[in-house]
């Protein structure tokens, strides 16, 4: 609802959402916190609500990434990734999800640069494996599966054609006209726009793209715009009264109250009190090259919020390491410096990242929790819910799913015992392992 209202307020009319991928593989760096979890019924339920809210605010939804991301551990931004589910498994998972939304009249679908080899083999047994194309360039997937078998007659848009997963499949001069010929209606983004226009024109002249298919694509684009009133020039509300308004901030805070999940808890660590923990050390874990810990739009920090509650809090400075502590420090030394340690991980899901794993300082893993058996230690993930894979030994672990001011405020209330932890995990946070549950 908030996304729809704020998008409409700033003049948007099309949303590349909801994401209806299934978070099958916890090592997948893309689906992670971008989809609604690992359960297809949950995904359908929440995506239905998002679609309804977008439509109520005059925003055209676009579900993605057909034929389904989340199986491969690799990123289609960097290569043509693979959904290697068998035909039956795909039909009973991703297939059911897409069939549901197609039956309910979804108007647009984004197609990913994702291979679906078992379907290609079934549809076209004569096709050699080296000739398999990602869905955005595959006639078998676009025309036979999506159009004919699933019955989708709406607008098909490619995922960004600047992505490597699209460009390595074939020469861009052929890929652009062929993605239209094989079933896409619209191309998302360009590399060199003048060159890309030339590739389409040349493709039409050389027979890679037929006039009939081009006309069909243009007709679908115009029809989609007309069906959604994009030629009506309806006025939008004043954005400053809508974007970031108090009502939306309150709703975001309520979402955080319901979502934040206490996955594991060591007896006696929570709730935090200034009497029990005189000094708290915080380790901020994030990408080293993103300009710092706080994401754009986030004004608060856990450090400042806890300080306002009367705690003596300081952050471990990775740029000014205490070499005596790194090479000679022991349990007594760290106990003199802090009574509690909190790790705050903010490895948000991001394009062009091969992994969303915890990364320690290379020098002696100086910021790793070697002391956790002797100093109470809490691990908080603001994004990726799967960090237990890298810190199974930590006994108090919390997932927040997103990093914003409202989430941080609610997190502090829950740490202090002012709010109960009520969130339930939408995925297997234990990553299918026994050691993460201990």
Residue numbers annotated as active site? 159
Evaluate whether 406 touches 300 at the Cβ level (below 8 Å).
Answer: no
How many CB atoms are closer than 10 A to CB 29? Answer: 23
Burial class (CB in 10 A: 0-12, 13-18, 19+), 306: buried
Helices (H), 140-184: 164-167, 172-181
Evaluate whether 15 touches 7 at the Cβ level (below 8 Å).
Answer: yes
Judging by DSSP bridges, how do beta strands 396-399 and 261-264 pair with one another? antiparallel
CA dist., res. 378 & res. 200, Å (int) = 55
Q: Is 341 helix (H, G, I), strand (E, B) or coil?
A: strand
CA dist., res. 96 & res. 44, Å (int) = 9
Report the candidate in 80, 46, 90 with the shortest Cα–Cα distance to residue 34.
46
What distances in angstroms separate CA 366 from CA 303, 314, 321, one per listed residue? Answer: 20, 16, 8
Report the candidate in 2, 114, 16 with the shortest Cα–Cα distance to residue 61.
16
CA dist., res. 18 & res. 21, Å (int) = 9
Extract the tokens encoding 429: 């946070």
Which residue is associated with the tokens 């502090």?
412
Q: What does the longest C-alpha to C-alpha distance in the chain come to?
A: 78
Evaluate whether 202 touches 229 at the Cβ level (below 8 Å).
Answer: no
Evaluate whether 68 touches 113 at the Cβ level (below 8 Å).
Answer: no
What distances in angstroms separate CA 103 from CA 42, 91, 122, 150, 306, one per listed residue? Answer: 18, 15, 24, 9, 50
């Amino acid at each position: 609802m908030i996304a729809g209202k704020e998008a409409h307020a700033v003049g948007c009319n099309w949303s590349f959402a909801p994401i209806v991928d299934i978070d099958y593989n916890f090592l997948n760096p893309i689906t992670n916190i971008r989809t609604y979890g690992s359960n297809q019924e949950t995904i359908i339920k929440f995506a239905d609500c998002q679609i309804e809210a977008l439509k109520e605010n005059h925003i055209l939804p676009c579900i993605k990434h057909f034929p389904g991301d989340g199986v491969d551990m690799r990123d289609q931004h960097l290569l043509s990734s693979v959904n290697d589910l068998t035909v039956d498994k795909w039909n009973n998972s991703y297939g059911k999800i897409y069939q549901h939304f197609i039956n309910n009249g979804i108007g647009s679908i984004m197609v990913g640069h994702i291979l679906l080899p078992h379907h290609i083999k079934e549809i076209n047994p004569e096709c050699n494996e080296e000739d398999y194309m990602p869905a955005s360039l595959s006639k078998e997937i676009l025309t036979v599966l999506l159009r004919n078998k699933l019955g989708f007659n709406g607008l098909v848009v490619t995922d960004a054609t600047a992505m490597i997963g699209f460009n390595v499949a074939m020469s861009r001069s052929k890929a652009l006209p062929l993605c239209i010929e094989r079933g896409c209606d619209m191309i998302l983004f360009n590399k060199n726009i003048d060159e890309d226009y030339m590739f389409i024109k040349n493709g039409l002249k050389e027979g890679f793209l037929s006039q009939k298919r081009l006309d069909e694509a243009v007709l679908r684009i115009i029809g989609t715009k007309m069906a959604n009133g994009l030629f009506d020039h309806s006025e939008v509300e004043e954005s400053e009264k809508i974007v970031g308004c108090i009502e939306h901030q309150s709703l975001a805070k309520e979402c955080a109250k319901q979502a934040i999940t206490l996955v594991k808890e060591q007896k006696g660590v929570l709730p935090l009190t200034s009497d029990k923990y005189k000094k708290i050390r915080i380790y901020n874990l994030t990408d080293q090259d993103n300009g710092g810990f706080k994401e754009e739009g986030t004004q608060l920090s856990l450090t400042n919020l806890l300080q306002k509650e009367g705690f003596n809090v300081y952050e471990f400075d990775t740029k000014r390491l205490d070499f005596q502590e790194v090479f000679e420090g022991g349990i007594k030394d760290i106990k003199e410096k802090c009574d509690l340690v909190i790790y705050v991980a903010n490895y948000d899901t991001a394009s062009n990242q091969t992994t969303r794993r915890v990364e320690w300082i290379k020098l002696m893993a100086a910021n790793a929790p070697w002391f956790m058996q002797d100093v109470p230690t809490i691990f908080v993930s603001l994004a990726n819910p799967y960090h237990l894979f890298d810190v199974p030994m930590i006994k108090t672990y919390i997932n927040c799913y997103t990093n914003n001011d409202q989430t941080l405020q609610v997190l502090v209330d829950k740490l202090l015992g002012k709010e109960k932890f009520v969130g339930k995990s939408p995925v297997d946070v234990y990553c299918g392992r026994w050691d993460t549950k201990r």
